Copies of this chain bind each other. A is one copy, B any other.
């Protein structure tokens, strides 16, 4: 009863909920009470879903995506173009690409970016496997979809260098004005990039 929160069971639940990104101690308490109120509708199903995911989700041996099978459902899908590989930093970026539904090739998840400050080296990322895939699978194009940050672009340059011997063409996502974006709110770099890459109307 150190914090007066209904015994060790609830204290422990709140402590664990508070470790989730986006939940602090206050929202963890609110979530715990809400869960107890919705015991059969939410609490037990969530416990079960967590256990199921912990037991079944694995990293795809081919691309690094998370799925219940390896190779993952994207790598194994017959409708996917195996000649195209879109390289992303994290699984969340893969999900974002899939939500946009603008790509029907396969992916390669690096698991982060190179970072001198955080000491992340090429061998810490899923890069060697990408080079192997690029040399082997009849791959025609590798699309680099890293974030437009310094670390993301450093990683893109490194991968381009590594791929130079394979003969595979390497592209990157276009820079420009976001759809629905207002010029007045955009940074100078984006406006410059959009101007440089302007297209006939």
Q: How large is the interface on A (under 10, 10 to 19, 20 to 34, 35 or more residues)?
A: 35 or more
B16, B29, B101: the one contacting A95 at CB < 8 Å is B29
CB-defined contacts of A1 to chain B, threshold 8 Å: 73-74, 98
Question: For window 24-47 of chain A, which residues contact chain B by CB distance below 8 Å?
Answer: 27, 29-36, 39, 42-47
Q: Is the CB of A22 within 8 A of B30?
A: yes
**Known contacts A47-B54, A54-B47, A33 near B3 by CB under 8 Å:** no
**Known contacts A34-B21, A47-B47, A66 near B10 by CB under 8 Å:** yes
Q: Is the CB of A44 within 8 A of B34?
A: no
Question: How distant is the Cα of A53 from the Cα of B13 in the complex, in angstroms?
Answer: 7
Q: Is the CB of A67 within 8 A of B7?
A: yes
Q: Is the CB of A49 within 8 A of B7?
A: no
A121 interface contact, C-beta 8 A: no
B4, B23, B43, B48: the one contacting A53 at CB < 8 Å is B43
Q: Is the CB of A52 within 8 A of B22?
A: no
Question: How distant is the Cα of A35 from the Cα of B90 in the complex, in angstroms?
Answer: 14
Given known contacts A7-B73, A19-B42, what 20 new A-B pairs fall within 8 Å (CB)? A3-B98, A4-B101, A5-B95, A6-B72, A6-B91, A7-B67, A10-B57, A13-B46, A13-B49, A16-B42, A21-B31, A22-B30, A32-B53, A33-B90, A35-B54, A36-B54, A43-B50, A44-B50, A46-B50, A47-B54
Q: Shortest 9 CB-CB distances between A and B: which pairs?
A: A4-B98, A22-B27, A47-B50, A47-B51, A13-B49, A16-B46, A20-B31, A43-B54, A6-B66
List chain A positions with a Cβ less than 8 A from chain B. Answer: 1, 3-10, 12-13, 16-17, 19-23, 27, 29-36, 39, 42-54, 56-57, 65-69, 72-74, 90-92, 94-95, 97-99, 101
